[in-house]
Structure 1
């Protein structure tokens, strides 16, 4: 099975194997060697990188592969730091620029630093021309030379003065003093204010006490609750779940990575009419094999894909899903896929004359 442009099932298997957390390092290397021109994103967003898997690619002769590693979302800062000695200036530039903060914000609630602090110093030692890149990297604050101007404070800080109409779907700029105030009485007045602008703004205030967080978590305005969830670690888990299910923007991906997002008890959503709710069931450590099997037959493709990648899926059902093109990639990413299957796919997809063939 030589991988070709019309070999959809083979491409799906390789894409899934490139994400599989249990793939042996040398098999991962062989996939990269033979198919790096058609498979890039699986390496960028695979969620588990063992030391051996990272090492198998860190010295790859193709500079593009090392660039992908520098950009990969889930390698550890210590693993990525290995690349500071890379001979290619473009790899060093990527490290100096840091990871895409928008992608990280979508992918995880609190993105970790891309590199240890010492690694930025080493980058500058090796290549002084990287300083402008480091100045734009929020993970390298020791090199940030530009100071952002402080916001101009509004003259009117009286919560009672806010009486202009705002619709529930209307976007409004934050009231800066409400976002930054530390005064307990002002926090209380804003949280209890009938005006959406003040409640939305104070929901972002990091000084909110637990009682006001609980109050705003039940607010009638969706934007108030969304901003609260995006700004605070100790939001009630059920409030997070409610906001997640109501959200229609990319912010709901971020909420799944919130430290307070519920895990246990989500199996109860298996019968929900909302596919976004059913897709959460695989996050529940107590969800049984029978539930996962049922979700693997769900009419919604996202729900089926989540179930296909779940290690609680039976071997029999996993085998069936590997032959189903709609979920073949997540099925191949399932950690229960046998090494024998991995070796066969990599061997049969190898280009003629390659060491993998």
Structure 2
């Protein structure tokens, strides 16, 4: 298969209008990428799902188990698959970039958690998708890893069960249980700090656990006490000591503490570099539904507070408008990435002028502007800008035809379902564009089959 036909076959695998008859043919092709692309589609016809589940190649079933677009009830049909890699993929679940998927039905997780293979049980129980109601039922499980996971359902557990977990025979179970109460329990915090030792898990405890005066002084005296600098229970005099620490990052962490006034923040010698990658502040995210906290952060002179406010969906409209004009690029980008309704003109501005790789994905946002794009960009000298004209619902057939002949946007224009059928068939004969037009939802089914015939795909 030459490169042009290969591109066309790949395009058919993701074309949203490709019917089951074509998808079934694609599954017969010895083409790993194409077969995987079929498994990752949303709304697969039942006959295609049946074919995937019955396929002798475990990799295909594994890909379907890992599909973020698949119906969880259909993925759950793999729960008795004979191949461990399929079950592991099912247990772990899909992890789309900055996206969430629906969990499997409870019965599927319960079946996986009873599997005789320890790896499958343990991969299941660490999955972020397993509902807490399922985890809550594991508090008395003989496998300590499963009892450890039950601690994640702490709020669902009765007091007597919590006490049993806090006194469990297994150290990791006791640690997981203690981590759930250490914010209010200085003794548990001290025990966790000692028992976790040099484990990376101790950082969360240092950042959030309640500190006794004695432990706080010990921790502050250690080299580079970064997590402690954010701890809410750190005594004020120790906060002031860290505010003048020689380490600039520790001073930055202190400057973003919730109890400080704007004046107190400004008195600390800190810097937020434009390219600095900073996690959302815990205390801001914990208060993400509190409009008053979000207003305080959005109007702060501290860049880290404004960045943290920008990712909170409950940010009120007037604060959205304020942060859309923020001098910090990251604030504007985070607002576009995380807020459900970022200003359309901000989306467009960052897409056109931003240099971060994430701006290219903003065009997929529902609020990205479409109306009027042809008038603004059809005659732009920049081909990337001319492509925006294709988003305009009022684009004329003549201008669409023109763009399908334009060296810059013609590939995207070839996938536009508004393209006349005669032009679609004409582009099928163009080796350079057949890979694009094969992704056009308006491509007739008979033409899809004809492409597969030409590529030698079995009927």
Instruction: Provide TM-score, normalisation by structure 2.
Output: 0.64
Answering whether residue 264 of structure 2 is matched by residue 161 of structure 1, we say yes
Match of 1:136 in 2: 126
Q: How does 1:239-250 map to 2 (within 5 A)?
A: 239-250=346-357
What secondary structure is seen at the aligned counterpart in 1 of 2:419? coil
**2:338 is equivalent to residue 231 of structure 1:** yes
Shift of 1:223: 0.7
Partner of 2:101: 112
- The match for 2:387 is 279
C-alpha contact 1:270 1:281 (8 A) present in aligned 2: yes
Matched with 1:324 is 430
Retained in 2: the 8 A contact 1:241–1:261?
yes
CA RMSD of aligned residues (A): 3.2
What does residue 404 of structure 2 align with?
A: 296
Q: 1:191 corresponds to which residue?
A: 298
Q: Does residue 78 of structure 2 align to residue 83 of structure 1?
A: yes
Alignment correspondent of 1:22: 17
Give, in whole Å, the separation in 2 of the partners of 1:114 and 1:250: 30
Offset of residue 320 of structure 1: 3.1
1:139 deviation in Å? 1.7
The yes-or-no answer on 1:201 pairing with 2:308 is yes
Structure-to-structure mapping, 1:59-98, within 5 angstroms: 59-98=54-93
Go from structure 1 to structure 2 and tell me whether the alpha carbon gap of 1:24 and 1:216 turns closer, same or farther (over 3 Å shift).
Answer: closer
In 2, the alpha carbon distance for the partners of 1:283 and 1:161 equals 48
The answer to whether the 8 Å contact 2:325/2:332 transfers is: yes
CA deviation digits over 1:181-235, x for unaligned, max 9? 4665554343223332332232234553222122112212211111222332132
Alignment of 1:342 onto 2:442: no
Rounded to whole Å, the distance in 1 between the matches of 2:19 and 2:309 is 49
Whole-Å separation in 2 of the counterparts to 1:49 and 1:250 = 31
- Answer with 185-194 or 228-237: which moved more: 185-194
Q: Report the Cα distance in structure 2 between the residues aligned to 1:139 and 1:70, rounded to whole angstroms.
A: 13
Structure 1 match to 2:324: 217
Classify 1:68/1:181 alpha carbon distance in 2 versus 1 (closer, same or farther; 3 Å): closer
Structure showing greater Rg: 2
CA distance in 1, matches of 2:74, 2:412: 28
Per the normalisation by structure 1, the TM-score is 0.79
Relative to structure 2, which stretch is displaced further, 219-228 or 281-290? 281-290
In structure 2, stretches of 5+ residues that fail to align are 136-148, 153-178, 180-203, 209-229, 232-238, 240-256
Could you list the per-position Cα deviations for residues 72-96 of structure 1 after superposition, in whole angstroms to 9, with x for gaps in the alignment?
A: 3433333333333433332221111
Gap regions ≥5 residues in structure 1? none
Structure 1 runs, 4 residues or longer, greater than 6 Å off: none
* Greater RCO (CA < 8 Å, at least 6 residues apart): 1
Q: In 1, distance between residues paired with 2:321 and 2:283?
A: 21
The alpha-carbon distance between structure 1 residues 238 and 136, as it changes in their structure 2 partners (threshold 3 A), is: farther
Shift of 1:329: 1.9
The alpha-carbon distance between structure 1 residues 47 and 181, as it changes in their structure 2 partners (threshold 3 A), is closer
